[in-house]
Amino acid sequence: MPEWLKKLLNKLDDPELMLEQSYREFESQVIGLRKEYAASIAREKQLERKLANKGNSPEATANLETELIKQRSVSEAVGNELQNKESEIQKAYTKKQAFLARRKAEEPHFADPTRATLIIIAIMTAWALIGIFINIKGH
């Protein structure tokens, strides 16, 4: 497959663009999870302060302890999900950087000064062949 065709097809299905989009998506998910995790920890601290209040009845203390246990499990679940998303975003970032490095390594191939000359010769040859075909068809 000619190099120019490969380049054109790569533009249609640009891996860099796809990596960038997935990286941005992971980034927004991580931001949302960080907010959720911070809110969960804040709720946990609020429950701990209420529980530290010595004026609570035994029933209220038991309810607060139960609620605190539930809140800690929610915080732990959100924290685990946040860690997973952060590792996914790190993988996406690494893939993106590797792709960019690979593409940059390939650039000198496309910066070949004789490439423009070869393209011009190919276009002129194509037009000459088209002209010959039209002349033959006309006779």
pLDDT digits (tens, 9 = 90+) for 50-71: 988 888 888 988 999 999 999 9
In the structure, what pLDDT confidence band is assigned to residue 22 with cuts at 50, 70 and 90? confident
Question: How high is the pLDDT of residue 131?
Answer: 85
Contact between 33 and 82 (Cβ < 8 Å): yes
pLDDT at 119: 83
Look at 8-12, 92-96, 120-124, 130-134 and tell me which has the smallest mean pLDDT: 8-12
Cβ contacts of residue 68 below 8 Å, gap of 6+?
44, 47, 48, 51
Q: How many CB atoms lie within 10 A of CB 47?
A: 19
Q: What is the dihedral of CA 79, 80, 83, 89, to 10 degrees?
A: -110
Angstrom distance (rounded) from CA 121 to CA 74: 68
Q: Which residues contact 29 (CB under 8 A, 6 or more apart)?
A: 85
According to the model, what pLDDT value does residue 23 have?
80
Stretch 39-54: mean pLDDT, rounded?
92
What does the pLDDT read at residue 112?
63
